[in-house]
Structure 1
């Protein structure tokens, strides 16, 4: 007999819960699910659309794209993903100092929807404006909605906390699984821009759910923890206008000189994506307002940040390097049906939805027996596994190098499976440890810092693409695989030091 998703809490007979958690988790679950539906549907199409009509598109693929080379398309994809996560930092700042988390998420939903509508319009200008809006809106939303999940729990030592973030993570992956099947398939096989329009509709559904069910959220989510004073607000506006003026003058001069190319836009963003995370970590670490315990936990957090950056450098190539390889070099016939390339982007979320409950239960069982691996051990294992996935990738790459050979699509299935197991050891655990270790002064902003690890990792890939490095070269893939495994082993060797720095926040 099926049970209701909302039921009486053991501690309060009249309190509704969602799978044993505060009912507000259901609201955030559904909001994030639809936002991820829109985001991952668009992302599944992005690289294929960018190369469509060009020399690097697969034979027989739909035309009508922007005809970029594979290297440039991968760079654009990587920089775009990096921007989404880079914008999480100012998104967290807005939540902390201007609107509060709840209002920031509502505004973000509208901006994302407008971005997808712009992507649905023809022309390069509308396309890049759409990417910018989606990146901006996603950044505003990501840091704040994850912080709101943390607000649902009464204390940092609530035993449901890690499990709650894992359930929230399932919501992310339900949306991510459905997106390639609906948005991706229609975009790749019918019309690119129709796919982008469906992404806008998905975000609209998520926004409506969020606004109608906002009463289920913790009132703390509406509070602005550290509001700007009038003088600070004026200073921020003036600085923002000055920066925009400098950018406008610089790129105006480049355009007038006839020197502008796509790389003029991508290189500064990519370099900034590497510098900003370091600068932010240094600024927070040197803040004299932090207590000794907060300082110690920030020192430990840097280890997690570096590990996550290496992880995402490899993992996020699933939508670029792996996708382009699957499009051109994989045999995708299944019972006489030619599987669209975008369908492979549904593998990771499918595996997450299937395996996340297993991992959530496993951590609880091990914790009861005092045998649960520490967070740093989980991170170490994730790095070794994601490195192993690229060692696997090197095998079919070597078989197809320099010839027209096609390999079975089951290689891609295996690679995505290994990467998913690695992700489940790192990503939901990383979200949870960030909320636990964040200094009170930087509550929402620290979630933005966590997402900057994705920015740093993707910017490394972006720089390689801008330098026209052959990212699907066997040597490059093996180098990345070895770097991840070595990093994982190095972190494991220093696990006791990191655990000591974390104090009671393990």
Structure 2
């Protein structure tokens, strides 16, 4: 391949390497599958049994959703380890897709009365396990397309982030239509179609593009084989999977009784403790040199900051979702907007503004004025605080006796949350792949998703404040979130310069 042909291949997709195109569409359809069912879960579980739901109370349904959301982003930590030590990035991604497809099939089968709740929860477990294998790997593969000093890296992750949000935008519009008619399982099944499309695109498009790019660049690819091979991992994984499925069946059939609210809270504390233990070990370990430890310190601050942000961001499928259902005037003339459609606002805003933010980072980078990751994070958290300042006003109107508030409150709040997300999420993914010590890319991406896991767990607590009995406390909840975001944003701004100076000092 000539140099000009390679240059074309290196900038063939919106100025980025061509393999980003295939990975873009794999991610888009995988996210369609997830966001097709995500906004339905809480509404479905709180719907009475007669109209087709499970009839759970708000607190129980929110705890189950929080556990699902939390585990969905916690298991990638194990998935990253399996990719690094057993399967390799490529095979982990492939098997993750297959397991997720089976999860969607199981949830679709829950429409049959004899299978019902058992298949529903087994399906959720399979989605969690499949996502654990898939999630870190595709991000690491995107990161491997760029050199460490490539100014396109943050921009490339922002483009990749658009794939997530195209899928997330379309899915609620489709599944929400059926949910509004009470056809819950039709909505769940449609999500599975997206997963099958993702499987086909990876097998016949993305895989070939990655091989072509690697060959043309003469690069030793990191995604085909694990960094190291640990023996007997496969047997252990299969045994744990069987134990997990058995445990789920026992819980559903009441052979084992658990308190899901207590379980969610315990898991939250365990994750926080595990994060501090891991980074404490890393900072004391002789395995890492001084430069690695400073990079890990940056990762630590970013992960803690991201956890606080995601706990706020996850109000959208939790308290915001129920607020839209119960306290928002959703009428446009004679048409009532389906509740689930509001979950498309976030991806719509991202699709509109992600290119703008991406171009801003590129332009600032060309003039050597691109803010560092911690500064971007800090700005994002301050912007998110504005979103909750808006929701304080909306919830206070309901507490004061208003029957319903204008949709403008939710729409404007989601706009500011989206803008904050664009400052935090793609930059965070890019930073983890860039700062990870050698051989730990998968683990560091897993740790990044641990911050999202914490956000899902903590964010689900808020759903218990949206019932008629507890609505009076909702303004206080939103005020607390706003204060935490402001304090965290200011702290990150203060720490940004000294840590950046330390990092540049050890890399000279």
Give the structure-2-normalised TM-score: 0.88
Q: Distance in 2 between matches of 1:30 and 1:321?
A: 31
Q: Is there any run of 5+ residues in structure 2 with no aligned partner, and where?
A: 215-220
Could you report, residue by residue, the CA deviation over 1:429-474 in whole angstroms, capped at 9, with x for unpaired residues? 1111111100012011111111111112222234666899958611
Distance 1:46 1:303, change over 3 A: same
Could you report, residue by residue, the CA deviation over 1:357-386 in whole angstroms, capped at 9, with x for unpaired residues? 000111111222333222211111111111
Using the TM superposition, give the Cα deviation of residue 254 of structure 1 relative to its aligned residue in structure 2, in angstroms: 12
1:321 aligns with 2:319: yes
Q: Distance in 2 between matches of 1:68 and 1:274?
A: 28
Q: Is there any run of 5+ residues in structure 1 with no aligned partner, and where?
A: 1-7, 55-61
Could you report, residue by residue, the CA deviation over 1:199-225 in whole angstroms, capped at 9, with x for unpaired residues? 001110011000001111155244334
Q: Distance in 1 between matches of 2:255 and 2:14?
A: 61
Could you report, residue by residue, the CA deviation over 1:259-305 in whole angstroms, capped at 9, with x for unpaired residues? 44444654554443333333333344444222221111101211111
Using the TM superposition, give the Cα deviation of residue 16 of structure 1 relative to its aligned residue in structure 2, in angstroms: 7.1
- Which residue of structure 2 lines up, in the alignment, with residue 102 of structure 1? 90
- Which residue of structure 2 lines up, in the alignment, with residue 57 of structure 1? none
- Which residue of structure 1 lines up, in the alignment, with residue 120 of structure 2? 127
Using the TM superposition, give the Cα deviation of residue 79 of structure 1 relative to its aligned residue in structure 2, in angstroms: 1.9
- Which residue of structure 2 lines up, in the alignment, with residue 31 of structure 1? 26
Q: Distance in 1 between matches of 2:422 and 2:485?
A: 16
Q: Distance in 2 between matches of 1:465 and 1:344?
A: 16
Distance 1:251 1:225, change over 3 A: closer
Q: Distance in 2 between matches of 1:189 and 1:266?
A: 31
Contact 2:251 2:258 in 1 (8 A): no
Q: Which moved more, 1:250-259 or 1:83-92?
A: 250-259
Q: Distance in 2 between matches of 1:343 and 1:387?
A: 24
1:180 aligns with 2:172: yes
- Which residue of structure 2 lines up, in the alignment, with residue 85 of structure 1? 73
Contact 1:300 1:501 in 2 (8 A): no
Q: Distance in 2 between matches of 1:100 and 1:239?
A: 15
Q: Which moved more, 1:68-77 or 1:331-340?
A: 68-77
1:360 aligns with 2:355: no
- Which residue of structure 2 lines up, in the alignment, with residue 148 of structure 1? 141
Q: Mapping of 1:346-425 within 5 angstroms? A: 346-401=344-399, 403=401, 405-425=403-423
1:43 aligns with 2:31: no
- Which residue of structure 2 lines up, in the alignment, with residue 201 of structure 1? 193
Contact 1:398 1:474 in 2 (8 A): yes
Q: Distance in 1 between matches of 2:136 and 2:415?
A: 27
Q: Which moved more, 1:399-408 or 1:113-122?
A: 399-408
Using the TM superposition, give the Cα deviation of residue 334 of structure 1 relative to its aligned residue in structure 2, in angstroms: 1.8
Q: Which moved more, 1:328-337 or 1:138-147?
A: 328-337
Contact 1:270 1:462 in 2 (8 A): no
- Number of aligned positions between the proteins: 487
Contact 1:88 1:142 in 2 (8 A): yes
- Which residue of structure 1 lines up, in the alignment, with residue 181 of structure 2? 189
Q: Distance in 2 between matches of 1:204 and 1:299?
A: 39
Q: Distance in 1 between matches of 2:77 and 2:426?
A: 19
Contact 2:152 2:362 in 1 (8 A): no
Q: Distance in 2 between matches of 1:463 and 1:93?
A: 30
Task: Give the counterpart of 2:294 among 287, 293, 296.
Answer: 296
1:137 aligns with 2:125: no
Q: Distance in 1 between matches of 2:247 and 2:324?
A: 42
Distance 1:238 1:358, change over 3 A: closer
Distance 1:189 1:433, change over 3 A: same
SS of 2:440's equivalent in the other structure is helix
Contact 1:254 1:260 in 2 (8 A): no
Q: Distance in 2 between matches of 1:366 and 1:408?
A: 38
Distance 1:216 1:128, change over 3 A: same
1:71 aligns with 2:59: yes
1:115 aligns with 2:99: no
- Which residue of structure 1 lines up, in the alignment, with residue 218 of structure 2? none
Using the TM superposition, give the Cα deviation of residue 337 of structure 1 relative to its aligned residue in structure 2, in angstroms: 1.4
